[in-house]
Amino acid sequence: MSVEDLHLNLRNLQESDYPQLKCLMDGIYDDIGGAWPEHTINRLIAEFPDGQLVIEDGDKLIGVALTALVDYDAFSNPHKYDDLIGHREVILNKADGDALYGLDALIDKAYRGYRLGRRLYEARKELCRSMNLRSILAGGRIPQYHEYAAELSPTEYIDKVERREIHDPILSFQLANGFLVKRLLRQYLPEDEDSQATPPCSSGTTFSSSRPSAYWKAARR
């Protein structure tokens, strides 16, 4: 399938998209809990519709980027993914927040290689600029780290990924899109076994970017 065969459209997520969204997220996040509940997605759409982006091929949803508004000072410092989650898995979107937080960014496995993730990232950057926000923040998993945990610390692993000596499917993608690692997060997502350093300590990265230029990041539960 060539890119000329695709009928792509970038738009905001709608409540009616949930069945396709659930199928997509369950397939990609099968190792860390699958899709968000429907009420979580619907509330996020209601509170911050412009931050929820999808790409469709015809009438098929093939990519999504979910985003919340947060306080920069709170989430540019050490935090856990659960700090974003309230009662009944409600995402804590801060209406007067001064930064975006990338919750999820994913592409259907059958559609990878068409630079669709970059399209979603660019749309999120443009949203940050148009809202005159301070930055885009996110936490990121390092899912290949478990293969190197016996020989490298998380910091050493990140350094090697930054030097392109190791390829990590999430971290390498973020770096290729202009994001910068701000710090290492411990216990960011404890159920993420692949990113673990030494049990029960899971590792992740947090990214920070300046509004005018190309930096920001992606994340996931």
Nearest partner of 65 among 151, 200, 208, 174, judged by Cα: 174
- Per-residue confidence at 198, pLDDT binned at 50, 70, 90? very low
- Residue 92 pLDDT: 95
Backbone angles phi, psi at 170, to 5 degrees: -95, -55
- Residue 212 pLDDT: 26
Distance CA(121)–CA(127), nearest Å, equals: 10
- Residue 31 pLDDT: 79
Distance CA(193)–CA(88), nearest Å, equals: 24
Q: Which CATH number fits domain 3-208: 3.40.50.170, 2.40.37.10, 3.10.180.10, 3.40.630.30?
A: 3.40.630.30
Greatest mean pLDDT among 44-53, 74-83, 95-104, 122-131 lies in 44-53
Looking at residues 137-163, what average pLDDT do you find?
88
- Residue 133 pLDDT: 93
Greatest mean pLDDT among 78-92, 123-137, 191-205 lies in 123-137
- Residue 13 pLDDT: 98
Pairwise pLDDT comparison (171 vs 69), residue with the higher score = 69
Q: Report the Cα 125 to chain-centroid distance in Å.
A: 13
Does 156 have pLDDT greater than 50?
yes
Q: Judge contact between 195 and 204, C-beta under 8 A.
A: yes
Domain ranges of the chain: 3-208
pTM of the model: 0.81
- Residue 204 pLDDT: 45
Helix axes 38-47, 18-28, angle to 10 degrees: 120
Q: Determine which of 117-131, 151-165, 204-218 has the lowest per-residue pLDDT on average.
A: 204-218
- Residue 199 pLDDT: 30
- Residue 218 pLDDT: 34
Distance CA(201)–CA(185), nearest Å, equals: 10
- Residue 189 pLDDT: 66
- Residue 70 pLDDT: 95
Per-residue pLDDT of 48-92, as tens digits, reads 999 999 999 999 999 999 999 999 999 888 888 889 998 889 999
Distances (CA, A) of 18 to 55, 162, 179: 14, 36, 29
- Tell me, letter by letter, the H, E, C secondary structure of 47-112: HCHHHCEEEEECCEEEEEEEEEEECHHHHCCCCCHHHHECHHHCECCCCCCCEEEEEEEEECHHHC
Residue with the two structure tokens 């090697």: 160
